[in-house]
Amino acid sequence: MRKLLALSVIAMLLLVSCSPYNQVLKGNDYNLKLSKANEYYDAGKWLRAGELYNQVLPVFKATKDYEMIYYRYAYTQYNTRNYLSASYHFKNFTEFFPGSSKAEECMYMYGVSLFKDSPRYNLDATSTSRAREVLVHYVNTYPTSPTVPDAMKYIEECTEKLETKGYHAALLYYNMEQYKAATVAFKELIATYIESKKTDYYMYLQFRSAFLYAQQSVLNKQQERYVDAIAIYKEFKSFYPNSSYTKEADKLFDSAEKSIKQLRNEHK
């Protein structure tokens, strides 16, 4: 039985190695490779098409076919979910063929590929930041393109992901009781995402962080830091008088004022 199984495996390997695709892949006829790559591409067999295009790209580099081959090769990377590679090749296409009728499409796909490569908010944000940057540039360069609405959706998702990452970074400082760092982080978050629907919440947390930083400070620094916290509170009240966080902020403000009065009385 073992011998029969081994023979069956060998037979299957021989059949695979002798398949028409593998014969073309291992052969030296580059015109045939290109022809078969195009067939596989048109049939949606992206992996096989990509392997063959990869082989013929250096050979056809100086020919009229190079633009089409490179364009299709970039899509094989995208359609096999190799998004980082796809972004690299779509970017290269726009640089190699700036006058191509497909340059606009490839700039868009460059941004989309980076977006697809973008991980969760709590991981490295490089692809997310770059995707947003590229897509904003695309929208500004081709404002009448039919894909602009989709690009805007991707930009919005990237912005939300980056904002969430910034929020959790600031919140981490807060939860670790590093209130000075939290105050700075929430301030930067507000400045970066000034149009966010959560800006009042971020400013409330900035104020709360500043208040707690004052509270945990040494006595001779407390009054100064409570004053700094109150300045944030007043800005919060000015910009967001109807915020749902107003009551909590008011309580902290009252406590800060009482602490300042007490500190002043102690120093009389």
pLDDT tens-digit readout, 78-94: 999 999 999 999 999 99
Q: Is the pTM of this model over 0.85?
A: no
Q: How would CATH label the architecture of 177-268? A: Up-down Bundle (1.20)
- The confidence score (pLDDT) of residue 142 equals 97
> Residue ranges per domain, the chain?
177-268
pLDDT tens-digit readout, 226-239: 999 999 999 999 99
Distance linking the first and last C-alpha atoms of the chain: 99
pLDDT tens-digit readout, 141-160: 999 999 999 999 999 999 99
